[in-house]
Amino acid sequence: MQFALDEDQVAVREMARAFAAEKIAPHALRWDEEKHFPVDVMREAAALGMGGIYIRDDVGGSGLSRLDAALIFEALATGCPTVSAFISIHNMASWMIDTFGTEAQRQEYLPKLCPMDLIASYCLTEPGAGSDAAALRTRAVRDGDFYLLNGQKQFISGAGATDILVAMVRTGADGPGGISTLVIDAKTPGVSFGANERKMGWNAQPTRAVIFENARVPVANRLGEEGIGFKIAMAGLDGGRLNIAACSLGGAQSALDKTLAYTKERKAFGRRLDEFQALQFRIADMAIELEAARTFVWRAAAALDRKDADATMLCAMAKRFGTDVGFEVANQALQLHGGYGYLSEYGIEKIVRDLRVHQILEGTNEIMRLIVSRKLIEGAR
């Protein structure tokens, strides 16, 4: 078993951390305030191999592991969790094409997706189908060599600014067996977008509804056979959950680093804050929780790389634990900054706002518990 990173993994992590420090962190507060989607910077990250991290190299991907990806997303999130999380979503959508697409589909899309010349959104959630994803109602009706698509997706990251929509749609009966996956050009007639949502955090990426009104999508754009779309979506989410947990760790690590610097400089009652034992204990607990969560994410990532039977359960566990710990550490960091933590210029309150949604997306943490309990109960029968 691996309990330390090898030289290549350390180099990958340091490359991503240096990129985050130079290209992302100095602008993160402005991007949040202005709701700016930094496509140019993300393309710079893609030029370093971060636009197709676990995509096969014959189409321009980096061909790295899920553990490598976790290292990269954590490192990028030290600069801005929102930007890191969107690059994760783009990678997830691209991976679905790489894994389930035909050779023609792979060659058509991935050489442009890996450098992020084209940018992808993942479209599963609907207004009435969030945690209950199998209840989605967006319908694709076969019309010769096309599907006629009607319905609406909700809370879609990047929508309106991305080029490709990897969407789960209903081609058959109710339930998970009636869902298929389509790769849709965002400029297709009949595809439109709602207003950019006003959100608590994640302001550096747009979030909009995607509306389909008699949009004609070629049957050739379907990934795999009809009826396997739900399985494709869930397979994508295994990795997506690890990625979002890693983003939580990166954001929380940044908050902890800021706290260490602050408590070293700030004085109260004639002493530096880091000289008070109560605060020393709190900082220690923050670091311990982060390291435990990091180890958990790495274990789950290694299981997913090996395609272990319990990989889905471990990914759900790691997502629940990692995102809860990440938010709590960031929230504690805000508390240790006192009133200054509540001010935007210190960067802590942004991290808290950004990390809060990680406990909701890619499957709520309540759903993670449900996945884990079902696996355990099934195994005990």
Q: What pTM does this model have?
A: 0.96
Query: Tens digits of per-residue pLDDT, 182-194?
Result: 999 999 999 999 9
pLDDT at 131: 87
Task: Report how far residue 293's alpha carbon sits from residue 355's, in angstroms, rounded to the nearest whole number.
Answer: 15
Query: Tens digits of per-residue pLDDT, 170-183?
Result: 999 999 999 999 99
C-alpha distances in angstroms, 365 versus 107, 325, 359?
A: 36, 12, 6
pLDDT at 234: 95
Residue 4 pLDDT > 90: no
DSSP letters along 30-89, please?
HHHHHT---HHHHHHHIIIIITSTTS-GGGT-----HHHHHHHHHHHHTT-HHHHHHHHH
Count of Cβ atoms closer than 10 Å to residue 135 Cβ: 14
Half-sphere exposure of 119 (CA within 13 A, CB side): 22
**From 44, 362, 366, 378, active-site residue:** 362
* pLDDT average, residue stretch 240-259: 98
pLDDT above 70 coverage of the chain, percent: 99
Task: Report how far residue 192's alpha carbon sits from residue 211's, in angstroms, rounded to the nearest whole number.
Answer: 5
Residue 3 pLDDT > 80: no
By CB atoms closer than 10 A (0-12, 13-18, 19+), residue 137 is middle
Is residue 311 within 8 A of residue 67, CB to CB? The reply is no
pLDDT at 2: 62
Q: Is 197 a catalytic residue?
A: no
pLDDT band at 279 (very low <50, low <70, confident <90, very high): very high
Task: Report how far residue 86's alpha carbon sits from residue 353's, in angstroms, rounded to the nearest whole number.
Answer: 16
Output DSSP code: residue 337: T
pLDDT at 379: 83
Query: Tens digits of per-residue pLDDT, 75-124?
Result: 999 999 999 999 999 999 999 999 999 999 999 999 999 999 999 999 99
pLDDT at 380: 81
* pLDDT average, residue stretch 224-233: 96
* pLDDT average, residue stretch 287-309: 97
Where are the strands (E) in 93-136, listed by range?
Answer: 120-123
CA nearest to 85, candidates 364, 373, 361: 361
Q: How wide is the angle at C-alpha 232 spanned by C-alphas 177 and 196, nearest 5°?
A: 105
Task: Report how far residue 6's alpha carbon sits from residue 160's, in angstroms, rounded to the nearest whole number.
Answer: 40
* pLDDT average, residue stretch 13-28: 98
CA nearest to 239, candidates 314, 155, 181: 314
Task: Report how far residue 307's alpha carbon sits from residue 99's, in angstroms, rounded to the nearest whole number.
Answer: 14
Q: Mean pLDDT, the chain, as a whole number?
A: 96
Residue 235 pLDDT > 60: yes
